[in-house]
């Protein structure tokens, strides 16, 4: 029996087109299986916010691809298609092309006699357009005028002549499907056998590949994976080549969260196919290239002690800690790979560790910062923090007295971390609402961040002891940086730890709602990789699903801090960061805190929002110039100060570096640098004047800017912008310019929690059985998160959430 998809061409709640398709589904059930797809959740088409990978568009894509034919039922609006129908056709002809060559039958229902004739004509034109390229059945179009009177109470068409006409149109369509099927049988493809070395464009640049073809098959795909980000691209490298070879096709779905890498691999194979004398387009028309992890499955019911939503840093930490307490842990992750934003992180996590930090010399400007802090009027400090501030003042004054006349060592203490987190997060929004970190949560974080470093070491994370780093916006050097692999280093240790200690991690499993009984959380409902329903009962649920910086609409909805957030703003985040946990929590009564405050990453790639392209060096080595070649801000400023300054200077600016500063970059290799220079995304020149020409600024201005900056480094003081920590001058050729723009980066607001990571309701009471950790929770970072404080937060509160869940719900002793 043929499988058809029926598309209801409207998202109206009551629709005669839906009624018509429902009637056809019933009436023709012996001849074809018609599945009806609704437009309700389809987002308005918008090129800048690519939704091709979203579950709703992917659902249309997969169902249409698998179907023998499509029936579209269109209403008419202003003599043309309704915009909801236009939107889905635009999505399905933007990056995905499931309608290409697909037999389509047009039907329509409308109030007037003429019915939907003009909309049907318009639909035919759209479907015929080259990007859509559907095979629309000629003639035999069914049009139902006066639809409001056409159906009886059972939803059947009343007039037998109308049914007869529909029968004949449908019978023709079934024949048409067969004819088009014949036409679509691909010609046999033959290749010039051999192994082809090709390059594809991935997320971070070129991906070298070698593709082996026999006379009639793609036999092998070898990929040099080193240029892409470990932890993000791995699933694409695993599944895409397999799907291509298994299906002998290039019609393969991209992997969510690694779509550029996926398309890169597909394009690389296409290049090899072309070089071997065949047409890649023929392979794109072949079906069968599924990257789905598992075949269809029935409803699954699972029982565990603690179920964790999200396999990022906080989620995997919580799972590991639950397992260490002897309880069962199940982690559900909506994306194909684990790691969330944590794999994207630069790596440094803040924890005051004076025994280690004191071994390093202070750098110019640091003493000045401490002195200025100690001189603050205590009356400007909020009462909860005042006692800590006074004690810190004593610590700072002792240190300054001890090191008078010497450069001194790098000072730090838990109290300095606490007060800097408080002051760094204290902000006022556009409505005059003041916010700062909740004292007890900030205390918990700063008291236990170092325990988190030690705990991570105990499960296999190795930290680089040779330097204390400071990510942008951190305001103090206390970053513990893992060896190699940036943020992936944490996930690389946590994932195998969880799996080898009896934990289960289910990927491509999106949690949709929490279940409750008798006023407590009893588990959750999720959707698995084959769209199967998964019902989990558990003693406790930990939400660790990250923030919402990839959800521009949600950012705009809550925003009270930025004067505007553009619709097409880029993000540094994984596309998974859509605020699901906040929605899950609020639906069971959770309170929210600080939602209006989001953070922009000032130093992001202007085209992709990526943080780790170009040269990312410690801020003491940043030299930021605007499009006129002038410095415009204290480069050591907080993220929001840098962002606002960038916005005030036209958003686009450049990070200037020299060959020595380049060596302090923590994100790159010479090979990557050369590739980016070749691609024109990073600029390099042997003189500052030539560099200036490349970035289109006046050479005299840039040269004068750098000369002045170098003199400030020598003096240890910046009279222009008061930068307070310097390291290197810009003086050794070649010189570099990295273009940057602000992008959405972090959401400080989220679910309200207490120091035990219990989720609280609007009355301040604990929601029994529900915990939250990581970026999904709010209250700590307030108006501005310090760089390096989030990793400290997720590992600390991930452990706390697990300990509380086990202690409260699993009735065993914990440490
Ligand atoms: C580019 C970049 C660099 C950064 N660098 C640093 C740094 O150097 N230092 C620092 O301290 N911080 C840094 N941060 C911030 C930090 O990485 C994040 O705040 C932190 O990793 C968040 O961790 P998390 O565990 O809360 O969430 P994540 O690690 O983001 O994990 C959340 C997981 O939940 C999953 N999920 C979401 N919804 C659902 C659902 N409905 N069902 C199932 N699963 C779901 C997601 O797919 C994801 O895997 C950086 C952030 C970015 C984007």
CB 776 within 8 Å of CB 414: no
Q: Phi/psi of residue 77, each to 5°?
A: -140, 125
Q: Does 102 contact ligand 1 (Cβ within 6 A)?
A: no
Tell me how far apart the alpha carbons of residues 369 and 118 are, in angstroms, rounded to a whole number.
Answer: 71
| Pocket test residue of 317, 340, 474, 582 for ligand 1, highest count of atoms within 8 A of CB | 340
298: three-class secondary structure by DSSP: coil
Q: Does 244 contact ligand 1 (Cβ within 6 A)?
A: no
CB 614 within 8 Å of CB 676: yes
Q: What is the DSSP letter of 736?
A: E
- Nearest Cα neighbor of 346 from 474, 256, 227, 247 is 474
Residues 6+ apart with CB under 8 A from 557: none
Residue position matching structure tokens 């002549």: 161
CB atoms within 10 A of CB 222: 13
Query: ω before 272 within 30° of 0 (cis)?
Result: no
CA of 85 to the centre of ligand 1 (A): 35
| Position 736 in a domain | yes
Known catalytic residues are 639
pLDDT at 618: 86
Q: Phi/psi of residue 9, each to 5°?
A: -75, 20
Tell me how far apart the alpha carbons of residues 629 and 693 are, in angstroms, rounded to a whole number.
Answer: 10
Q: What is the DSSP letter of 342?
A: G
Residues 560, 655: one domain? no
CA of 573 to the centre of ligand 1 (A): 8
Q: Please compute the mean of the pLDDT values over residues 731-746 and round it to a whole number.
A: 96
Tell me how far apart the alpha carbons of residues 307 and 538 are, in angstroms, rounded to a whole number.
Answer: 6
pLDDT at 594: 98
CA of 313 to the centre of ligand 1 (A): 7
| Position 281 in a domain | yes
Q: Does 666 contact ligand 1 (Cβ within 6 A)?
A: no
How many CA atoms lie within 13 Å of 214's alpha carbon, on the beta-carbon side? 6
- Which of 258, 285, 312 is the C-terminal boundary of a domain? 285
CA of 524 to the centre of ligand 1 (A): 21
Residues 199, 274: one domain? yes
pLDDT in tens, 373-415: 999 999 999 999 999 999 999 999 999 999 999 989 999 999 9
Residues 475, 565: one domain? yes
Look up residue 743 and give its two tokens: 């992008």
In the chain, % of residues over pLDDT 90: 71
Q: Does 695 contact ligand 1 (Cβ within 6 A)?
A: no
pLDDT of 184 > 90? The answer is: no
| Pocket test residue of 604, 780, 790 for ligand 1, highest count of atoms within 8 A of CB | 790
| Position 674 in a domain | yes
CB 364 within 8 Å of CB 423: no
Residues 130, 28: one domain? yes
Please give the sequence-ordered ranges of beta strands (E in DSSP) within 29-97, or none if there are none. Answer: 32-37, 69-74
- Nearest Cα neighbor of 792 from 449, 465, 442 is 449
pLDDT in tens, 249-284: 998 888 878 888 899 999 999 999 999 999 998 888
**342 CA closest ligand 1 atom index:** 21
156: three-class secondary structure by DSSP: coil
Please give the sequence-ordered ranges of beta strands (E in DSSP) within 152-204, or none if there are none. Answer: 194-201
Tell me how far apart the alpha carbons of residues 601 and 573 are, in angstroms, rounded to a whole number.
Answer: 10
String of DSSP letters for 369-389: HHHHHHTS-GGGS-HHHHHHH
- Nearest Cα neighbor of 151 from 17, 31, 35 is 17
When mean pLDDT is compared across 409-423, 425-439, 466-480, the lowest value belongs to 466-480
pLDDT at 520: 96
| Pocket test residue of 308, 321, 485, 487 for ligand 1, highest count of atoms within 8 A of CB | 487
In the chain, % of residues over pLDDT 70: 98
| Position 388 in a domain | no
Q: Does 51 contact ligand 1 (Cβ within 6 A)?
A: no
Q: Does 591 contact ligand 1 (Cβ within 6 A)?
A: no
| Position 758 in a domain | yes
Residue nearest (by alpha carbon) to ligand 1 atom 31: 312
Tell me how far apart the alpha carbons of residues 456 and 505 are, in angstroms, rounded to a whole number.
Answer: 19
Q: Does 340 contact ligand 1 (Cβ within 6 A)?
A: yes
**512 CA closest ligand 1 atom index:** 41
569: three-class secondary structure by DSSP: coil
**335 CA closest ligand 1 atom index:** 47
656: three-class secondary structure by DSSP: strand
Q: Which residues pair with 515 in a beta bridge?
A: 523
- Nearest Cα neighbor of 329 from 815, 758, 801, 813 is 801
Q: Does 124 contact ligand 1 (Cβ within 6 A)?
A: no
**341 CA closest ligand 1 atom index:** 30
Q: Does 327 contact ligand 1 (Cβ within 6 A)?
A: no
Tell me how far apart the alpha carbons of residues 660 and 731 are, in angstroms, rounded to a whole number.
Answer: 8
- Nearest Cα neighbor of 701 from 662, 659, 709 is 709
CA of 776 to the centre of ligand 1 (A): 9
| Beta pairing, strands 683-685 & 218-223 | unpaired
Q: Which residues pair with 223 in a beta bridge?
A: 209
Residues 6+ apart with CB under 8 A from 285: 100, 101, 184, 186, 251
| Position 206 in a domain | yes
CB 476 within 8 Å of CB 412: yes
Q: Please compute the mean of the pLDDT values over residues 121-132 and round it to a whole number.
A: 90
Tell me how far apart the alpha carbons of residues 19 and 103 are, in angstroms, rounded to a whole number.
Answer: 22
Residues 556, 593: one domain? yes
Tell me how far apart the alpha carbons of residues 736 and 572 are, in angstroms, rounded to a whole number.
Answer: 22
pLDDT at 295: 54
Residues 211, 278: one domain? yes
Q: Does 318 contact ligand 1 (Cβ within 6 A)?
A: no
Residues 577, 618: one domain? no
| Position 726 in a domain | yes
Please give the sequence-ordered ranges of beta strands (E in DSSP) within 272-317, or none if there are none. Answer: 300-309
Q: What is the 3-state secondary structure (H, E, C) of 291-350?
A: CCCCCCCCCEEEEEEEEEECCCHHHHHHHHHHHHCCCCEEEECCCCCCCHHHHHCCCCEE
Q: Dmax of the chain from CA atoms?
A: 102
Q: Does 470 contact ligand 1 (Cβ within 6 A)?
A: no
**791 CA closest ligand 1 atom index:** 11
Residues 250, 165: one domain? no
Q: Does 790 contact ligand 1 (Cβ within 6 A)?
A: yes
CA of 785 to the centre of ligand 1 (A): 14
Q: What is the DSSP letter of 248?
A: T
Instruction: Give 813's pLDDT tier (boundaries 50, 70, 90).
Output: very low
Q: Does 580 contact ligand 1 (Cβ within 6 A)?
A: yes
Residues 495, 564: one domain? yes
CA of 341 to the centre of ligand 1 (A): 3
Tell me how far apart the alpha carbons of residues 125 and 93 are, in angstroms, rounded to a whole number.
Answer: 14
Q: Supply the CATH number for residue 40's domain.
A: 3.40.50.360
- The total number of structural domains in the chain stands at 4
Instruction: Give 182's pLDDT tier (boundaries 50, 70, 90).
Output: confident
Q: Please compute the mean of the pLDDT values over residues 56-64 and round it to a whole number.
A: 90
CA of 312 to the centre of ligand 1 (A): 6
Residue position matching structure tokens 């005030």: 648
Q: Does 752 contact ligand 1 (Cβ within 6 A)?
A: no
CA of 615 to the centre of ligand 1 (A): 22
Residue nearest (by alpha carbon) to ligand 1 atom 27: 546
- Which of 164, 184, 204 is the C-terminal boundary of a domain? 184
- Which of 151, 184, 217 is the C-terminal boundary of a domain? 184
CB 385 within 8 Å of CB 412: no
Q: Does 342 contact ligand 1 (Cβ within 6 A)?
A: yes
| Pocket test residue of 507, 546, 549, 776 for ligand 1, highest count of atoms within 8 A of CB | 546
CB atoms within 10 A of CB 352: 22
**pLDDT averaged over the chain?**
92
**313 CA closest ligand 1 atom index:** 25
pLDDT at 233: 85
Q: Does 794 contact ligand 1 (Cβ within 6 A)?
A: yes
pLDDT in tens, 232-249: 888 899 899 999 999 899
Residue 662 belongs to what domain range?
A: 604-742
pLDDT at 754: 98
Residues 355, 463: one domain? yes
First to last CA, the chain: 61
The dihedral through the CA atoms of 744, 746, 752, 757 has a sign that is: positive
Q: Phi/psi of residue 542, each to 5°?
A: -110, 120
Q: Does 313 contact ligand 1 (Cβ within 6 A)?
A: yes
Instruction: Give 672's pLDDT tier (boundaries 50, 70, 90).
Output: confident
The dihedral through the CA atoms of 705, 708, 711, 713 has a sign that is: negative
**332 CA closest ligand 1 atom index:** 43
Residue nearest (by alpha carbon) to ligand 1 atom 33: 310
pLDDT at 297: 66
pLDDT at 475: 87
Instruction: Give 814's pLDDT tier (boundaries 50, 70, 90).
Output: very low
Q: Does 743 contact ligand 1 (Cβ within 6 A)?
A: no
Specify the long-range contacts of residues 714-718, CB closer than 8 Å, at least 24 apart.
Answer: 716/364, 716/365, 716/368, 717/365, 717/368, 718/634
| Beta pairing, strands 194-201 & 206-213 | antiparallel
CA of 600 to the centre of ligand 1 (A): 15
Q: Supply the CATH number for residue 249's domain.
A: 3.90.1010.20
Query: ω before 734 within 30° of 0 (cis)?
Result: yes
pLDDT in tens, 326-372: 999 999 999 999 999 999 998 799 999 999 999 999 988 899 999 99
Look up residue 215 and give its two tokens: 């006379």
CA of 43 to the centre of ligand 1 (A): 24
Residue nearest (by alpha carbon) to ligand 1 atom 49: 340
Residues 778, 798: one domain? yes
Instruction: Give 791's pLDDT tier (boundaries 50, 70, 90).
Output: very high
Tell me how far apart the alpha carbons of residues 749 and 593 are, in angstroms, rounded to a whole number.
Answer: 5
CA of 612 to the centre of ligand 1 (A): 16
CB atoms within 10 A of CB 462: 12
Residues 172, 212: one domain? no
pLDDT in tens, 555-581: 999 999 988 787 878 899 999 999 999
| Position 659 in a domain | yes
pLDDT at 113: 72
How many CA atoms lie within 13 Å of 798's alpha carbon, on the beta-carbon side? 35
Q: Supply the CATH number for residue 771's domain.
A: 3.50.50.60
């Amino acid at each position: 029996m043929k499988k058809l998809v029926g598309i209801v061409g409207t998202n109206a709640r009551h629709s005669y087109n839906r009624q018509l398709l429902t009637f056809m589904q019933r009436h023709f059930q012996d001849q074809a299986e018609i599945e009806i797809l609704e437009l309700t959740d389809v987002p308005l088409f918008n090129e800048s916010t690519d939704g091709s990978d979203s579950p709703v568009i992917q659902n249309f894509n997969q169902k249409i691809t698998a179907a023998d034919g499509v029936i579209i039922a269109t209403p008419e609006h202003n003599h043309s298609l309704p915009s909801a129908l236009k939107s889905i056709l635009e999505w399905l002809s933007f990056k995905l092309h499931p309608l290409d060559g697909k037999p389509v039958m047009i039907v329509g229902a409308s109030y007037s006699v003429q019915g939907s004739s003009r909309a049907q004509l318009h639909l035919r034109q759209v479907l015929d357009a080259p990007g859509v390229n559907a095979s629309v059945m000629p003639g035999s179009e069914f049009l139902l005028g006066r639809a409001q009177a056409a159906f009886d109470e059972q939803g059947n068409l009343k007039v037998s002549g109308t049914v007869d006409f529909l029968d004949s149109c449908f019978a023709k369509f079934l024949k048409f499907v067969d004819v088009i099927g014949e036409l679509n049988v691909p010609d046999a493809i033959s290749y010039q056998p051999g192994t082809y070395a090709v390059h594809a464009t991935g997320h971070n640049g070129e991906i070298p590949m070698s593709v082996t073809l026999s006379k009639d098959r793609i036999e092998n795909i070898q990929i040099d994976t080193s240029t892409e980000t470990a932890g993000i691209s791995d699933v694409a490298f695993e599944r895409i080549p397999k799907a291509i070879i298994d299906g002998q096709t290039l019609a393969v779905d991209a992997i969510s969260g690694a779509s550029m890498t996926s398309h890169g691999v597909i394009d690389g194979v296409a290049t090899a196919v072309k070089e071997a004398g065949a047409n890649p387009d023929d392979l794109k028309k072949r079906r069968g290239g599924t990257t789905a992890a598992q075949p269809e499955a029935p409803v699954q019911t699972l029982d565990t002690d603690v179920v964790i939503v999200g396999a990022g840093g906080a989620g995997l930490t919580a799972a590991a800690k639950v397992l260490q307490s002897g309880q069962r842990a199940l982690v559900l992750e909506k994306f194909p790979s684990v790691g969330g934003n944590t794999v994207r992180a630069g790596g440094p996590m803040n924890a005051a560790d004076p025994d280690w930090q004191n071994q390093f010399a202070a750098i110019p400007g640091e003493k000045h910062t401490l002195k200025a802090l100690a001189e603050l009027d205590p009356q400007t400090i909020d009462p909860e923090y005042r006692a800590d501030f006074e004690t810190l003042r004593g610590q700072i004054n002792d240190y300054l007295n001890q090191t008078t006349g010497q450069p001194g060592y790098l000072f730090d203490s838990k109290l300095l971390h606490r007060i800097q987190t408080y002051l760094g997060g204290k902000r006022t929004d556009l409505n005059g609402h003041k916010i700062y970190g909740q004292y007890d949560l900030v205390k918990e974080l700063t008291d236990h961040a170092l325990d988190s470093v030690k705990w991570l070491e105990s499960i296999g994370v190795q930290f680089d002891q040779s330097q204390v780093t400071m990510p942008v916006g951190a305001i103090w050097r206390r970053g513990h940086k893992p060896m190699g692999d940036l943020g992936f280093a944490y996930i690389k240790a946590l994932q195998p730890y969880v799996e080898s200690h009896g934990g289960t991690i289910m990927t491509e499993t999106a949690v949709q709602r929490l279940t409750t009984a008798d006023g407590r959380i009893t588990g959750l409902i999720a959707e698995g990789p084959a769209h199967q329903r998964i019902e989990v009962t558990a003693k406790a649920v930990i939400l660790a699903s990250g923030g919402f910086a990839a959800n521009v609409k949600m950012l705009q909805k809550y925003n009270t801090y930025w004067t505007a957030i553009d619709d097409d703003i880029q993000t540094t985040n994984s596309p998974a960061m859509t605020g699901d946990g906040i929605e899950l929590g609020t639906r069971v009564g959770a309170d929210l805190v600080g939602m209006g405050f989001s953070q922009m990453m000032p130093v992001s790639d202007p085209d992709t929002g990526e943080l780790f392209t170009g040269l990312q060096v410690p801020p003491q080595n940043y030299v930021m110039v605007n499009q006129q070649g002038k410095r415009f801000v204290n480069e050591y400023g907080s993220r929001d100060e840098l962002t606002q300054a960038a916005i005030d200077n036209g958003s686009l600016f450049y990070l200037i570096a020299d060959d020595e500063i380049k060596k302090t970059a923590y994100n790159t290799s010479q090979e990557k640098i050369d590739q980016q220079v070749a691609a024109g995304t990073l600029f390099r020149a042997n003189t500052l004047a030539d560099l200036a020409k490349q970035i289109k600024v006046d050479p005299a201005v840039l040269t004068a800017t750098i000369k002045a900056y170098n003199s400030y480094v020598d003096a240890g003081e910046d009279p222009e912008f008061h930068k307070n920590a310097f390291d290197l001058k810009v003086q050794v050729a070649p010189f570099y310019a990295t273009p940057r723009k602000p992008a959405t980066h972090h959401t400080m607001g989220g679910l309200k929690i207490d120091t035990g990571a219990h989720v609280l309701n609007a009355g301040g009471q604990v929601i029994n059985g529900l915990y939250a950790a990581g970026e999904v929770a709010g209250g700590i970072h307030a108006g501005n998160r310090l760089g390096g404080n989030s990793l400290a937060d997720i590992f600390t509160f991930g452990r706390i959430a697990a300990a509380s869940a086990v202690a409260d719900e699993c009735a065993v002793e914990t440490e």
